Amino acid sequence: MASAAISRGEILHLYRSLLRTARQFCDYNIREYTKRRTIDAFRQNQNLTDSSAISAAYSDGKSQLDVAKRQAIVYSLYAPTIKSVMEA
């Protein structure tokens, strides 16, 4: 990453973006998995203090966001016509 320090606002924006992208999945299981994985990853990394570790975690999160956005589009193209029992 070009900047040495990543601000708290940028990290919160990434967190909200990941959760917002998780809501775009049509399938309940995928939606909840993506949400749970996001929350767990941020909890795991909340105590990072080293700027290089924070930068690495942030760039990993950005790449995960890109993957999640692409997958949400693909899943919407092939969305199931029947709702899950969990969504009824």
What is the chain's pLDDT, residue by residue, as a tens digit (88 residues)?
Answer: 445 589 999 999 999 999 999 999 988 899 999 999 999 999 999 999 999 999 999 999 999 999 999 999 998 898 777 777 777 6
Task: Give the predicted TM-score (pTM) of the model.
Answer: 0.85
Assigned token pair, 64? 């995960």
Q: What is the pLDDT of residue 71?
A: 95
Q: What is the pLDDT of residue 2?
A: 46
Long-range pairs for 50-58 at CB < 8 Å and ≥24 separation?
Answer: 51/4, 51/5, 54/6, 55/1, 55/4, 55/6, 58/1, 58/6, 58/10, 58/11, 58/14
